[in-house]
Amino acid sequence: MPQETVTLRQEIFSLKHVDKGYHKGGEEDIQVLDDVNLTLHEGEIVGLLGRSGSGKSTLLRIIAGLIQASAGEVNYCGQPLNGPAEGVAMVFQTFALFPWLTVLQNVEAGLEALGVEPKERRRRALAAIDLIGLDGFENAYPRELSGGMRQRVGFARGLVVNPTLLLMDEPFSALDVLTAETLRTDLLDLWNQKQLPIKSILIVTHNIEEAVFMCDRIMVLSSNPGRVVAEIKVPFAHPRNRLDPVFRKMVDDIYALMTQRRSADTLHKVQLEIGSPLTEVSTNLMAGLMEALAAAPYNGRADLPEIGSKLLLEVDDLFPVTETLEHLGFVELRDGDIELTAAGKLFADYGTQERKVLFAEHLLRHIPLAARIRRVLQERPGQRAPRLRFEQELEDSLSDSAAEETLDTVISWGRYAEIFSYNDHTETFSMEDVEGAQ
Amino acid sequence: MTTVIRPFIPATAKRLLPNRWDLIAFPLILGFLLFATTGIQGTWAPISALQTEPISLDAANLPEYALRTTLRMLAAMIASIVFTLVYGTLAAKSRRAGQLLVPILDILQSVPVLGYISFTVTFFLALFPGRVLGAEFAAIFAIFTSQAWNMTFSFYQSLRTVPNDLKEVSQNLRLSGWQKFWKLEVPFSMPGMIWNMMMSMSGGWFFVVASEAITVGDKTVTLPGVGSYLAMAISNKDLTAVGWVILTMTVVIVIYDQFLFRPLVAWADKFRLEDTMSQAAPESWVLNLIQRTRIIQQLLRPFGKLLKKLARMRLNIALPQSIHTESHSSVSRGLDIAWGGFMVLLCGYVSWKLYSFISSEVGLGETIRVVGLGFITLVRVTVLIALASIIWVPLGVLIGLRPRLAETIQPIAQFLAAFPANLLFPVFVVFIVHFKLNPDIWLSPLIVLGTQWYILFNVVAGASAFPNDFREAATNFHIKGWQWWKQVMLPGIFPYYITGAITASGGAWNASIVSEMVSWGDDKLAAHGLGAYIAQTTAAGDFPKILLGICVMSLFVVLFNRLLWRPLYAIAENKLRLN
């Protein structure tokens, strides 16, 4: 039974040309969201899908009225939004339950804030607790509950205030796979049986399958800065079957979309510069992925979603490692597939020492920052350089935290490759103990 | 890519070349050594020197006095560290010793520090007849008693909580007890110990000021130092001198913090057990300086090597192997009983001795009167801690929720906590004398003058650490006003508040001895209370009464801790833990 199309339903929320930037030490802004347009209608579940750094949580908090957009229009039920609006309830990734309140008190807290009479408060809280399957736990403290039960309290607390819109910030990502799935289906059942008072749900996630499984519409966000790069309607009826070929096809397409986005504008992978941000990826993970790719059944080439779920890598882990390997010239990414290059195959075959030599060669050739550090060290008389020197250089183009992560990343790769050494106490790079340095 | 080839300098030679950091660090260290030697020389002078060289109110002498005071602090700290390592190890390693040592430590912690002085002054003067050293030892011992106990507790607790897998690794590596101590146990307990050292040190300034100029009966000791300068200024009614001494102390505390504790804390950061990097690792410019210098690093290296060698020795102190204990269980049980019996006997003997000493002069009526005075001081402490909480908790929360403001306020609050409040007493006393105010009421604020800051900075820390998600949830569900305080913020900061309040109340009991009886020149003000009683009997050198006063105060402190703070702390630990 295909769902009715959502034309001309009542508009609940609309964002027009929303920007969000953070000021950094009087210098230029760090742009988090760039020209985001988004409309929420009655009766739909909308997903905000993006990787870390896509500003999806920031967007959610703008809608919740917790932070203000730097520019653009935010309208709630036709009115401009001013601060946290009534009728917008939020469910948190970390549950955010007050540990000193019982389940019942946590659920009642929002009603108390609205000034609901104690008797009515109790009745409504108990009803919400029943609905969400928590009866019997009313007097338990959050610490006595499992993660899944805690998030049910989070749902009950959100639902009890009869919100128009329910915002969910990665609500299932802190839970184990089975618990998360149970909670998803329970929530969808309640939603589809129209037992929930809410008119619309907005869910933030980095899990592509979760988005396709739950949402009627998916907004895909790009990273740094966050932009809406695609809007995908999911036409499947509930309950959805994850193994259905059309379901798989859509998941594959979104994977391809999220990995291949760059080549659409430039037809080439982006060349890294000295100031390009690097994401911390361990060399063990890189080696492990290359080994897995080289071995059967993949033999050098794999479907990204497939190998991701096989290796239990979520998008937020999988994409950074595949992209790093791509930058280093060990793999190529095409149409949601990943393929080892000749160098990548060699790496997988090599032993420990040979791997390090090969990695060092690729690191110096493809990661300009690594090459720069090495060159500076070789040019200096003492072959030492303080971390600060490079950090300041990076901070010209990156935020403080991104500059720090980038430098930490290149340090851990450089240590593995033995192209320089680094002393964390004195915060200096040097060529000490590096073979062939002098 | 062209690489410029530089002249080749062998690595060993390279390390010997001075770099620019040496230029700054070297004079600092040399200067410190010089000052230390001149300071120590003075202690070998005969005690008559103290009488012939009275304290001069000339401000030019203050740097030297400050140095002497600081050295006393340092000596006490070293003594405390040695005591901590030995006592803590004994208490943690031997079950039987622990049964005795831990409760003793608990009581020692509750005895008012200034109470010890009356006895130790007499004791140490007798130990080194005719030498300044005896008086020095008495003062150092007083500071030691204010520092050692919580450090020892921290070390003992760390030893008890060394993770099992690390213990198993060291067994697996066949480390001897000595090696394990230096490789595992000491490093593991380092962060907690250094934190407690800082707390101790900040409390210690108060007692060093109080213990440098002291009169017990007919014996008056005036050691050159900031404290005796203050005493002189008070008896001469010299407000300018009081101003100078306040200024000096401020400088000394800032220097001490920058040169000793910042570097220590930054250095100890590497002993933290978590593998994850903390958000903001502690920083110290002095430590950076030392770590970046080459010559100083070279000079320090032999010491480092010696220490390492010492730690690597396989000294095997024969401790019973845990595996064998089971086979001797019947023998062990017999020993347990004998040990228990011995302790009961010892306890009984000491109590009887104590009782007979006190009762030789003091009757039941006096005891009841002293207990009554204890209640007056109890009311004073309770009311003032409550008042300080009412003021500082809301302010601390408001500050803590603003990270920028918290960053500025936090070091100031910590400084104020370390600043010996007794230096400020004269200012208040002048005021009270001038307006002829009731000392029973107006001397009371002095009790929390120095210790209230512990409440402030702990609450600020708590509010700063309050999870952002909780704040967002509260905002999202429109929780405001009293409901916000009651359900969101107050429970969130409660564990921090309790930590601060316990320190503050402990400090307040101690402070009562110096703040319930104060003077300005010939004007003497005394409030009714146990603190004033101890101060008066000390000045009179009436030992049975001093002992009675100390016993009663210790009893009050122990009961206060057991009946109020322990239960509250348990609630904070069990129910209000975040996560």
Percent of chain B surpassing pLDDT 90? 15
Q: Does the pLDDT of residue B54 top 50, yes or no?
A: yes
Q: What is the pLDDT of residues B170-192, one digit of tens each?
A: 888 888 888 888 888 888 888 88
Determine whether the interchain pair A438/B487 forms a contact, defined as Cβ–Cβ distance below 8 Å.
no
Q: What is residue B388's predicted lDDT score, i.e. its pLDDT?
A: 95
More confident residue, B460 or B21: B460
On chain B, the residues whose CB falls within 8 A of the CB of A153 are: none
Look up residue B487 and give its two tokens.
Answer: 């359900």
Residue B574: what pLDDT? 78
- pLDDT for the residue B384: 94
| Alpha helices, DSSP H, located in A328-437 | 342-349, 352-366, 368-379, 387-395, 400-417
B334-579 maps to which CATH number?
1.10.3720.10
For residue B579, what are its two tokens?
């996560």
Answer with the residue of higher pLDDT: A268 or B414: B414
Give the model's confidence band at B282: pLDDT under 50 very low, under 70 low, under 90 confident, else very high.
low
In three state form, how does the secondary structure of A225-236 look?
Answer: CECEEEEEECCC
With a cut of 70, say whether residue B524 has pLDDT above it: yes
Rounded to 5 degrees, φ, ψ at B214 are -145, 145
Say if residues B115 and B540 touch (Cβ distance below 8 Å). no
Where is A109: in which H helix or E strand? helix A103-113
**HSE, side-chain direction, 13 A CA sphere, residue B17:** 10
Q: Which fold has domain B25-315?
A: MetI-like fold (1.10.3720)
Max mean pLDDT among A363-367, B430-434, B554-558 falls in: A363-367
Residues 6+ apart with CB under 8 A from B318: none
- Which comes out higher in pLDDT, residue A53 or B440? B440
Residues in chain A: 438
Quote the mean pLDDT of chain B: 79
For position A262, what pLDDT does the model report? Answer: 52
Q: How confident is the model at residue B24, as a pLDDT?
A: 54
- Across the interface, do B576 and A99 touch by the CB < 8 Å criterion? yes
The confidence band for B351, taking pLDDT boundaries of 50, 70 and 90, is confident
Distance CA B472, CA A57 (A): 12
- Residue B271 tokens read as 């002993």
Confirm whether B25-315 and B334-579 share one CATH topology: yes
C-alpha span between A59 and A221 (Å, rounded): 10
Listing from the earlier edge strand, what are the strands of the sheet with A45-49?
Answer: A88-91, A165-169, A200-205, A45-49, A217-221, A228-233
CATH number for the domain whose boundaries are A11-259: 3.40.50.300
Question: What does each C-alpha distance from A26 to A22, A32, A125, B567 come to in angstroms?
Answer: 10, 17, 48, 50
Q: Does B14 touch chain A (CB under 8 A)?
A: yes
Q: Measure A84 CA to nearest chain B CA, in Å.
A: 6
- Look at residue A382 and give its three-state secondary structure: coil
- Whether pLDDT at B292 is above 70: no
Pairing label, strands A11-22, A384-386:
unpaired
User: pLDDT for B9-30, tens place per residue?
Assistant: 333 333 444 455 555 555 555 5
Q: A436 contacts in B (CB within 8 Å)? A: none
| Tokens describing residue A106 | 């946590």
What local confidence, expressed as pLDDT, does residue A88 receive? 92
Q: Per the CB < 8 Å rule, is B487 touching A92? A: no
Question: Which of A84, A105, A378 is opposite residue B476, by nearest beta carbon?
Answer: A84
Distance CA B535, CA B112 (A): 12
Residues A413/A367, Cβ–Cβ less than 8 Å: yes
Residues of chain B with pLDDT > 70: what percent? 82
Domain boundaries, chain A: 11-259, 283-348, 353-430
The answer to whether the Cβ–Cβ distance between B467 and A110 falls below 8 Å is: no
Write down the domain spans for chain B. Answer: 25-315, 334-579
Q: DSSP assignment, residue B277?
A: P
pLDDT greater than 50 at residue B471: yes
Q: Residue B389: which of B465, B491, B487, B500 has the closest Cα?
A: B500
Probe site for chain B from A98, A111, A121 (most B CB atoms < 10 A): A98
pLDDT reported for residue A266: 44
Residue A319 and residue A260 in contact, taking contact as beta carbons nearer than 8 Å: no
Q: What is the DSSP letter of B56?
A: P
The per-residue pLDDT for B350 is 77
Closest by CA to A202, choosing from A371, A366, A14, A362, is: A14
Apex A131 CA angle, A130 and A137, nearest 5: 35
Which of B270, B469, B479 is facing A94, going by the closest CB pair? Answer: B469
CATH architecture of A283-348: Orthogonal Bundle (1.10)
CA distance B525 to B522: 10
Q: What is the 3-state secondary structure (H, E, C) of B90-119?
A: HHHHCHHHHHHHHHHHHHHHHCCHHHHHHH
What pLDDT score was predicted for residue B220? Answer: 75
Residue whose C-alpha is closest to residue A168's, from A3, A40, A17: A40
pLDDT higher than threshold 80 for residue B92: yes
As averages over each run of 10 residues, the pLDDT of chain A (438 residues) reads: 54 90 62 89 93 86 90 89 89 91 93 92 94 91 92 94 93 90 93 90 93 94 85 91 91 83 49 83 93 90 86 84 92 86 93 93 93 91 88 82 89 93 86 63
